[in-house]
A and B are shown apart, each in its own frame.
Chain A
């Protein structure tokens, strides 16, 4: 993973990924993805369902193994020495319940652990309360997350990421299932962090309330980057249509390997897996 440490670019890039390949269950999900996010930028990651957005951010954070490529986070190679305390991640959904109840406080407190910090720091309760407050979940601290609505669970996941006061925030569809006022509050929180210099990578299906913040869009299709540049401003097309299709309007070039790739990256590609 940490093959070359070309620190020439230094920590000016919050995320620097080159040639990222990921193989899951025998099929190649990501094929040579390059993503560079300069510190302080807000980048939207767009693409249809199954295009590999979640897999990409999971790979960037080391949650799924890379079969090729390098990733640097805040200037450090992915690994135990990466500055995990400065990275916050909101996954697409909370894992299915296991039967043992866990309260919002317990789930958010787990966000205070990272890297080598295996125990919550002193004063963790105050920080957890503040994070829950920031997502409008004050008063729900001691409720089991299993009893919460999907949107409330999502807010708890956001709080779990915010509790670290991250410099790099990675959000996987953070506002799906969240009511409009809370979306606005959350976008304000992200805007505040961005104002303090935080970098944000956010997976979205519609820019929605994030639109004013987004500085750049990366569009994935079949596990490849097909657009990297200005966010898709003309929203008229998107407003009425189903959000299954995010087209990169600024980049009309067809993908170079388009026709050969089925949506499931069929068995031909799967054969190449080790």
Chain B
């Protein structure tokens, strides 16, 4: 590609908005994803995504009733509300035991999609109206959408990074967190809410069906190489921005769907990263893997004396 082509791409307002959206999503989603993976709730984003679809349709329905123009003005607020409520329900059910948490997630998957399809019909739309939410349509991101995304992403970043250690603690060892008097339920609900907001931020870029991929796959890539939680999070975020921007740029010159491109790219990066891991991984800091054992010598001497 020539320099002129790049300048042309960057001067397109549509592309500017899309790039900003991609960077926001690429940076925030993996941060929340790192906590979710650590908490063994990698699929939570999917559950929330499905519920958010009902929220989109609900927003649409209210928009139709209120004669708003365009009808889907309230789609994102609707998605935010449904996602937050859904995530808190998932979290509270999970608290009661893991198997039923699994089941709750499954119910949300089906209920969310079915509810969305039903409500959109009631609202006078068609299933096609939902497609852009299901699979993302970054090219239709409006300035209003973008402001929503900026605000939500900022909130996710501030809370997620500000409460990083507390969210780490509750995700790493919930029992210890409870035995330390930490408000574990509130922290878990905070994390669930962050996940819900992330889903709605990422919805326009990769679509609700693929939203979880941009939260989880960069983390999967990062954890192949990173040796600490903090580094995993930073590396996942950087990876997320990279694949989102590269994927988006690819769709500028090729007629391919951005959301799917970004996700396929991320998975390709994962495959390559996993393949190269044995060769590339930084060697473990050079020290004897066995802790120094001067005491052994002492014990042995004592034994011989006996």
Contact = CB atoms under 8 A, between A and B. Distances in A.
Nearest to B172: A102
B176 interface: yes
Contacts, number: 116
Contact of A101 (B171, B178, B229): B229
Contacts of A87: 180-181
A173 B137 CA distance: 56
B37 A99 contact: yes
Interface string B140-177: 00000000000000000000001101101101111111
Contacts of B287: 139
B182 A100 contact: no
Given A61-B179, A82-B181, A113-B169, A102 B228 contact: yes
A157 to B, nearest CB: 8
Contacts of A49: none
Interface in A51-104: 58, 61-63, 79-80, 82, 84, 87, 89, 91, 94-95, 98-103
A110 B40 contact: no
Q: How many A residues touch the partner, as a band?
A: 35 or more
Contact of B34 (A58, A100, A110): A100
B179 A103 contact: no
B285 interface: yes
B178 A95 contact: no
A199 interface: no
Q: Which of B34, B169, B187 has the most CB of A within 10 A?
A: B169
Interface of B: 34, 37-40, 162-163, 165-166, 168-169, 171-183, 187, 219, 223, 226-230, 232, 285, 287, 291, 295, 299
Interface of A: 58, 61-63, 79-80, 82, 84, 87, 89, 91, 94-95, 98-103, 105-107, 109-116, 118-120, 136, 139, 142-144, 152, 160, 170, 179-181
